[in-house]
Amino acid sequence: MAVTPEEHLSWILERVAPTPEIECDLRAPEALGATVSRDVRARYDLPLWDNSAMDGYAVRAADVAGASTETPRVLRVVGEVAAGSAEDPRIEPGAAVRIMTGAPLPGDADAVVPVERTRVDGARDPSGAAAGRSGGDPHPWAESSVAVLAAAPRGANVRRRGEDVPAGTVLALPGQELTAARIAALAAAGVQRVSVHRPPRVAVLTTGSELRTGDGPLVRGQIPESNSLLIAGLLRESGVAAVETVRCPDDVAALRERLDDLARRCDAVVTTGGIGPGRHDIVRVALADEPGVRQVAVAVRPGRPQGAGRLSGGALLLALPGNPVSAAVGFELFVRPAILAMQGRERLQRTRVRAIAAAAWRGAPGRLQVLPVRVFEDPELRCAPVVDPRGVSHAVGGHGAADGYALVDAERGDVAAGETVTVMLVTR
């Protein structure tokens, strides 16, 4: 009797132990993709102080009330603050200070007039700058006096201290991924280091005497090894670098030795191949001696034979079929969620969208069909198989173009062109 994919995943997740917490510097390369293990709060108000949203003049709003092109208000320019400046120049009534985007707003100012709303007042400006837009510079800056051509109410073009995020706000919660945006938010708020789950140490073990990795000529029966690249790459896309990739010929004793060694040193071992009923399917044979591991048929197509559990050496084992697309599907349904759960990740599932089937295909009655598709907009979201739906598991070439997998429930049957299906996206 086959188990459902949901049941198999739950069985695996019950056996997952989260990795310990470690401190991680936000600027270290391993921060990206790590999973936060404790609340992280903003140390600073964001913005840190009131500052200018525009290049222009910091003014007292009352001084420029009613200003217009016809009735400009002329102000004395008494200084300048650039981004990074610690200056807080006094601004008496009738005065203004040149200010650049991001620079702290002087304490006496309550508004900023953008430079485009000003004119250099040539008659009063001893710097000699001509009035108006001159000299090829569309927005000349006044040295000593500026004519303001528009009113700026209190707060105009001012970014208030703490208006984005006040200090103390929780910016990251346990289980959340350190994405580029989240890392930037934390760094901006003064955070240097965060607690994350240590990335699991995961080994990839491929089996098969037919597999070759060099670029030498292949004799009949040999094929290039590709599953280790697939699995290690998918792991990397899940935030984990495979610590080791091991190849094993179809020899049970050799496999047991490698499994025992990896089980002691790793948090998880992912194998591909050798799990079918064939005479040389050594993973099936070796795992039969492991009491914590179960081998089941899962009601999914492709990816039916699966093994999972805890090896006596300690590591979590996830045994995938050798057919490359079956291995990829098994990774998505079982390995990726397990690896994310080991990191304490709150969200284990890929993003799912609804898309219109651009072609008809035969379903897989009684099994969840997981069909590699490309996804495109025309103008709505559509999906089309990238492999022949009648023979998916070995179709490693076509699979390379997949953006995701159409998920067709066991009860649904065939899919007609124009029907809507659920697609699990695998591209970021």
Residue 255 sits at φ, ψ, to 5 deg, of: -65, -45
Name the strand (E) or helix (H) holding 324: helix 324-330
Stretch that binds ligand MOO, among 230-238, 240-248, 297-305, 338-346 (CB under 6 A): 297-305
Site string for ligand LQZAQKY5, 250-279 (x = CB under 6 A): ----------------------xxxxxxx-
Q: How far apart are CA 134 and CA 152, in angstroms?
A: 24
Nearest distance from C-beta of residue 411 to ligand LQZAQKY5, angstroms: 21
Q: Does 306 bind ligand MOO (CB under 6 A)?
A: no
Structure tokens given for 257: 């030795």
Would you give the DSSP letter of residue 218?
Answer: P
- Pick one of 80, 88, 143, 210: the residue that binds ligand LQZAQKY5 (CB under 6 A): 210
Span 376-405, contacts to ligand MOO by CB under 6 A: 393
Q: Per residue, what are the HEC states of 362-410? A: CCCCCCEEEEEEEEEECCCEEEEECCCCCCCCCCHHHHCCCCEEEEECC
Of 20-28, 49-57, 132-140, 322-330, the window that binds ligand LQZAQKY5 (rule: CB under 6 A) is: 322-330
Nearest approach in angstroms of CB 244 to ligand MOO is 25
Q: Which stretch binds ligand MOO (CB under 6 A): 39-47, 136-144, 161-169, 296-304?
A: 296-304
Residues of this chain, 379-408, that bind ligand LQZAQKY5 according to CB under 6 A = 393
Contact 392, 371 (CB under 8 A): yes
β-bridge mates for residue 147, sequence order? 74, 119
Q: Rule CB under 6 A: say whether 302 interacts with ligand MOO.
A: yes
Q: What is the DSSP letter of 314?
A: S
Does residue 145 belong to the site contacting ligand MOO (CB under 6 A)?
A: no
Q: What angle do CA 227, 321, 314 make, to 5 degrees?
A: 90
In the complex, minimum distance from the CB of residue 302 to ligand MOO, in angstroms, rounded to a whole number:
3
Which amino acid belongs to residue 71?
T
What is the Cβ-side half-sphere exposure of residue 385, based on CA atoms within 13 angstroms? 20
Select from ligand LQZAQKY5, ligand MOO, none the partner in contact with residue 301, using the beta carbon and a kind-dependent cut-off of 5 to 8 Å: ligand MOO
Count of residues in contact with ligand LQZAQKY5, rule CB under 6 A: 26
Instruction: Name the site residues for ligand MOO (rule: CB under 6 A).
Output: 301-304, 321, 323, 326, 393
